Structure formats: C-alpha cells, structure tokens
C-alpha cells in the first residue's frame, strides 16, 4: 500500500494556510486508501492535529527562527525508507534542509531500495513578491544568500515541485537562479465542501457580530495584515460611502467602470463591511481603527468581530453577499475557495494566484491590488443587477466543483504525481 510522509515546520493554524493545506491534502489522499503521515516540529499536547485520517509525529517545538530541531534529521534518516513519497511543505526553514540532507546521506544506500522520492510543495514561497515588496529588503538579501547555499539544492535535487495553480508555477521561475527542478506538477489544492446551511449558523454569527442582522454586507475573512490589502479595502469603501453618487450608475447590464456623477440608484443601500480575522490589536490594525473612528459613516458600517470559527464562521459566509480580498500576494486563498463553495462570488486582486480560474469561470470580479482597483471592485459589484449577482453566485459553485473540490484534488494528485 502506498505511503506518503508530509514534512512541515508546524501544524499550528495560527501560522497561516500551510498547515491547513497539509491537513486537506493528507486527509484527502487517505480517503483513497493511501497511507498518509505528517511530521512537524510541534508539541503533541498542543493538539494542533485532531484529524484521525492520518498519523501525526510531533517531534517537539523549535524555538529558533530557522525552525531547527535536533531530532528531525535522525528521525528522517531512520524512517524515510518506509515511504514511497516524502513531501516537503514550505521553504526557507530547517524542515526542507533536513529532508534534503537525509536523502543526500542515504540515497545511494540500500535503505532507499523502495525508490522513495522526495517532492517540494512551496505553497507560494517562491513568489517574487517576497523579494520585491517594500520593507523586505533585508529579508530579500537573506533569502538570496540562503537560496545560493542551501535552498537551490533542496529544490533542484528533489524529484519535482508541486504547485497549486498555473500562476504559482509561472511566478516561481522569476526570483532565483539557478532554478532547475527535475519536474513541475500543477496539482491544485482543494477545500472540503462546507456544512449545509442551518439557522444555528445565523445565531452564532449574529451573536458575535451585532448590527449586521437584516443588512447586506461584504465579507473579508483573513488576517488583518498589510499584505492582505485591508487598508486599501477600507479606503476604497470610504470613497464610495462618502460620495456614493460618484460610483453608482443606472445601468444594470454587466459591470461598469465609468464614473457617473449624475446618476444615483434610487434607494440603493450600500452593503456593510465585515472584516473578520485576527490582527486588530496590532499597530496596523489600530491604525485602521483610527481611520474608521474619524468617520462616523465608516464606524456605523464597518464591523470587526475578530476571528470566527465553527458555526459563526459559516454564518459569516452564508449571510454575506460576496467575499472581498484585495491582497498584495496570495498563493491560493483557502477562504476565497470556501466562499466559492458557499456559492458566494469573490471580489479579489490579480495578486491572488487563482485569479485566472475565477475570472475564466465568471465566479467573481478581479482587479489590480491598488486603491483604484479595489474601488472598482466594490463599485462594479454594487452596480451589478440582482440577476447578474445571482448568475455569478451560480458560477461560484461551478468554479469550486470544477477547480477546487476535494474530488478534483484527489484526481489531480493521483494522475500527475503518485504514479511517478
């Protein structure tokens, strides 16, 4: 029976989408009879993994920036020969180097007579954004040096790289040289179908987010972080709510980018904005609150319920009109796909790597990650007729089932990777 080992720095969900992606991939492949195990540098008592579909090896938490753990390399050296595939999730940390080192030490030995292969899934960590973004100059130099001496060997001696979409694969070629992976596979990433809607979701959400009952609203659900473009979202929303006649047109056919200062939709209600996620306590989050508190119109229409889970989270999705994320960089965007799965259109920037799949299926609107682009996203959505919004909602479900369902994920992995 085929066995796959996933090696990741941590399964702590607070650290971002990689841990969630590992959970999804491992449990999805396990549903097909493939044995999946995960090794990470966590304490088992932290309880980050509750999924019974795969075995979790927690070797103890690392407390240094590199994620070094003295037990990982010996554990890999002893155990990798038991697996058909070892998959590194993420780059720039010790877990990827440890896999490379373990294979280098034993690749020529009988211990690998099974033909064990190791693959790398970067999860967007080869995106040129991280080398170009302002404020990351020192980190960019550090990454360049690390690539030169370590990470290029991890990537180029692996049996292949795994990407979630075509855009990620294309962008990965740009920032570092030499970049010569043996194989590149676009395997996709799926999201489990959401639970069916029920009234308890409404109760849980509105209990936390009072003031949104019986109001249309747009949903942002992610970390409150500069990379996510929350400041752009609030500034664009402010432009519209303070001067609505500049952005609403009388046309109901498709979308419009023409500003019509003389035509305002009679009785039009601007949707509220729910900004869901952790980070409001940071300096960045507090600066956003200061902007909102300076404008009563914003204060009465923008809500910060914090991080939501369970029924409250699904209540946010199901009660929203659409999902919005003007991020400056996003490799996949699990929350984007969760919205599609809930039949909700998405309003996103073209820096979210799955934007082409969304645009091609007409499951949402896509613009640049600028103030103009974000304002256009909001205005175009608000100017859509109810009929066109309903069409887009139906296409959201089509996009999810075609591109991002668990079934699509399993089919892709089995056909492109697990028969190497």
Please say whether the beta carbons of 146 and 131 come within 8 A.
no
Q: How many helices (H) and strands (E) does the chain have?
A: 17, 13
Q: CA 144 to CA 31: how far, in whole Å?
A: 39
Q: CA 200 to CA 209: how far, in whole Å?
A: 14
The pLDDT assigned to 244 comes to: 87
What is the CATH number assigned to the segment(s) 3-190+406-416? 3.40.50.2000
Distance of CA 4 to CAs 69, 303, 323, Å?
22, 43, 35
Query: Could you give the residue range(s) of every CATH 3.40.50.2000 domain in the chain?
Result: 3-190+406-416, 199-404
Burial of 75 (0-12, 13-18, 19+ CB in 10 A): middle
Please say whether the beta carbons of 189 and 25 come within 8 A.
yes
pTM for the structure as a whole: 0.84
Q: How does pLDDT run along the chain (420 residues), one tens digit per residue?
A: 899 999 999 999 878 789 999 999 999 999 999 999 999 999 999 999 998 999 999 999 998 999 999 999 999 999 999 999 999 999 999 999 999 999 998 876 655 656 899 999 999 999 999 999 888 899 999 999 999 999 999 999 999 999 999 999 999 999 999 999 999 999 999 999 999 999 999 999 999 999 999 999 999 999 999 999 999 999 999 999 988 888 886 443 443 333 333 333 444 579 999 999 999 999 999 999 999 999 888 999 999 999 999 999 999 999 999 999 999 999 999 999 999 999 999 999 999 999 999 999 999 999 999 999 999 999 999 999 999 999 999 999 999 999 999 999 999 998 888 875
Q: H or E element: which one contains 272?
A: strand 272-276
What is the CATH number assigned to the segment(s) 199-404? 3.40.50.2000
Burial of 50 (0-12, 13-18, 19+ CB in 10 A): exposed
Contacts 24+ apart (CB under 8 A), 79-82: 79/5, 80/5, 80/106, 80/111, 80/112, 80/116, 80/118, 81/106, 81/111, 81/112, 81/113, 81/114, 81/116, 82/3, 82/5, 82/114
Closest among 239, 346, 227 to 298, alpha carbons compared: 239
């Amino acid at each position: 029976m085929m066995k796959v080992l996933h090696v990741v720095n941590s399964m702590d969900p607070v650290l971002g989408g990689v841990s969630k992606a590992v959970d999804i991939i491992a449990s999805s492949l396990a549903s097909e009879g493939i044995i999946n195990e995960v090794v990470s540098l966590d304490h088992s008592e932290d309880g980050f993994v509750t999924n019974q579909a795969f075995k979790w090896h927690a070797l103890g938490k690392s407390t240094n920036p590199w994620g070094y753990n003295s037990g990982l390399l010996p554990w890999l050296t002893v155990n990798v020969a038991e697996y058909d595939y070892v998959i590194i999730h993420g780059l720039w940390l010790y877990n990827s180097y440890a896999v490379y080192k373990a294979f280098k030490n034993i690749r020529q030995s009988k211990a690998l007579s099974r033909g064990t292969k190791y693959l790398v899934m970067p999860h967007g960590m080869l995106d040129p954004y991280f080398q170009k973004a302002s404020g990351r100059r020192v980190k960019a130099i550090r990454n360049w040096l690390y690539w030169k001496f370590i990470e290029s060997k991890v990537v180029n001696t692996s049996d292949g790289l795994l990407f979630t979409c075509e855009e990620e694969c294309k962008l990965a070629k740009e920032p570092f040289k030499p970049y010569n992976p043996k194989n590149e596979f676009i395997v996709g990433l799926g999201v489990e179908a959401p639970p069916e809607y029920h009234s308890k979701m409404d109760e849980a959400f509105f209990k936390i987010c009072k003031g949104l009952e019986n109001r249309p609203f747009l949903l942002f659900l992610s970390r409150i972080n500069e990379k996510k473009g929350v400041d752009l979202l609030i500034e664009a929303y402010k432009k519209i709510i303070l001067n609505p006649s500049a952005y609403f047109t009388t046309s109901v056919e498709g979308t419009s980018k023409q500003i019509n200062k003389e035509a305002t939709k009679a009785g039009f209600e601007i949707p509220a904005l729910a900004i869901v996620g952790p980070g409001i306590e940071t300096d960045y989050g507090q600066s956003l609150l200061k902007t909102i508190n300076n404008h009563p119109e914003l204060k009465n229409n923008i809500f910060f319920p914090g991080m939501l889970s369970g029924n409250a989270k699904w209540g946010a999705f199901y009660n929203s009109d659409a999902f919005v994320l003007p991020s400056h960089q996003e490799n996949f965007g699990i929350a984007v796909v969760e919205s599609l799965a809930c039949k909700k259109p998405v309003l996103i920037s073209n820096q979210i790597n799955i934007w082409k799949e969304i645009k091609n299926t007409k499951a949402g609107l896509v613009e640049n990650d600028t103030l103009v682009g974000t304002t256009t996203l909001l205005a175009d959505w608000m100017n859509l007729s109810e009929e066109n919004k309903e069409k887009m909602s139906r296409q959201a479900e089509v996009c999810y089932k075609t591109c991002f369902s668990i079934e699509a994920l399993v089919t892709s992995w089995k056909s492109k990777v697990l028969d190497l």
